[in-house]
Structure 1
Amino acid sequence: MTGVTLTAEQIRNAPPPVRQWIEQEVIGALGLAPRTQAAAPPQAAHLVACSVEDMADVLEHIRGVFPAVNVLFELGRPGISLGQPPVMTFRLMDILHHTRLQDIGQVMTCLEMLNQALTEARKDPSVRFCGFDSERHCLIAPQTQVSIATLWQTMMERQQAAQARETGSQVAPAA
């Protein structure tokens, strides 16, 4: 057996296929995910562009499952837009890291919960909130990412307004 040591700089400068291979080897070696390829969504299913209202409905379906809520809002971050028609891509490892879940399996469970919540909200079993590729990426429609970010921003503005009203009502008027 032969070992190879690479610096962070060498990995950063490596061609994308080499970086992806290294990522897959590290994920497999650490046992963060099985070495099998991520399953593709069924052929009949399709990614849909979700509105802010769709995302609010999905949030309502998963409200008590905090890891799924964290994964939902993680997808409101800017991703990488690829392909034609374009899709937003998010590395499952990044989602795992940012949500502090234990392994890729938990991330996948949360993403499947989001798919299920959307099918229930839309009452259409063929729609998909997200899909996956063989490179361990989560794929969503660009409009869906924008809608999630908008929902997050709206929720934060409401929270700040509520806090301002609460703080304002607690301050006694000057005599």
Structure 2
Amino acid sequence: MTGVTLTADQIRNAPAPVREWIEQEVIRSLGLVPRAPTAAATAQAAHLVACSVEDMAGVVEHIRGTFPAVNVLFEFGRPGVNYGQPAVMTFRLMDILHHTRLQQIEQLMTCLEMINKALAEVRKDPSARFCGFDNEGHCLIAPQTQASIAALWQDMMARQQAQQTRANDRIAPAA
């Protein structure tokens, strides 16, 4: 048997899959069973809105002056863990905090509230919710919303690359 010792900084700075694996190994070694989604998570999932690419583009337009909120929004373009009925995608708040380089969870929660408010304005529905939360430190979104954010990101990157190509073509010397 071989043992490995990791510092808290090494664990904190490890890629998300490694941190999740460590978490599962600790849970398993203590003989604990990971808990199923809570009733609160299921109840919150019922109020989440499945957002289209157009919805997400509207949200970006509303929050574009606040870079941290835009950065947080695009974190949800990454694949999350899908579970439950109705299905939801879960993202660990600590992973989002780490990826966005925000300093405090309160900053992250402020960004998520901005996104929720922007969606309510875009949809003209004060009850519309981009995300919800469970008691385990996860943020929940609808799977369609995650797919829409990923598609919007890809579209934005393709447009930016096309603009760069056109700009390069204009300044290239004639042969």
TM-score (norm 1): 0.77
Cα separation, partners in 2 of 1:153 and 1:91, compared to 1, 3 Å: same
Is 1:54 aligned to residue 58 of structure 2? no
Aligned residues: 150
- The aligned runs of 1:119-138 (5 Å cut-off) are 119-138=120-139
In structure 2, the residue matched to 1:97 is 98
Is 1:140 aligned to residue 152 of structure 2? no
CA deviation after TM superposition for structure 1 residue 173, in Å: 2.0
CA deviation after TM superposition for structure 1 residue 7, in Å: 4.4
Distance 1:157 1:140 in 2: 25
Distance 1:55 1:171 in 2: 36
Which consecutive residues of structure 1, in runs of 5 or more, have no partner in the other structure? 1-5, 21-38
Deviations 1:54-90 (A, max 9, x none): 0000000001000000000011100100111110000
Aligned-partner SS, 1:139? strand
In the alignment, residue 101 of structure 1 is paired with which amino acid? L
In structure 2, the residue matched to 1:29 is none
Select which of 5, 9, 14 maps to 2:26.
Answer: 14
Give % identity. Answer: 69
- The aligned runs of 1:105-116 (5 Å cut-off) are 105-116=106-117
Cα separation, partners in 2 of 1:10 and 1:93, compared to 1, 3 Å: closer
CA deviation after TM superposition for structure 1 residue 165, in Å: 0.4
TM-score (norm 2): 0.77
Distance 1:12 1:136 in 2: 15
Cα separation, partners in 2 of 1:70 and 1:10, compared to 1, 3 Å: closer
Give the root-mean-square deviation of aligned CA atoms. Answer: 2.8
CA deviation after TM superposition for structure 1 residue 46, in Å: 1.1
In the alignment, residue 107 of structure 2 is paired with which amino acid? Q
Distance 2:99 2:132 in 1: 19
- The aligned runs of 1:28-47 (5 Å cut-off) are 46-47=47-48
CA deviation after TM superposition for structure 1 residue 156, in Å: 0.3
Which consecutive residues of structure 2, in runs of 5 or more, have no partner in the other structure? 7-20, 33-39
Segments of 4+ moved more than 6 angstroms: none
Aligned-partner SS, 2:145? helix
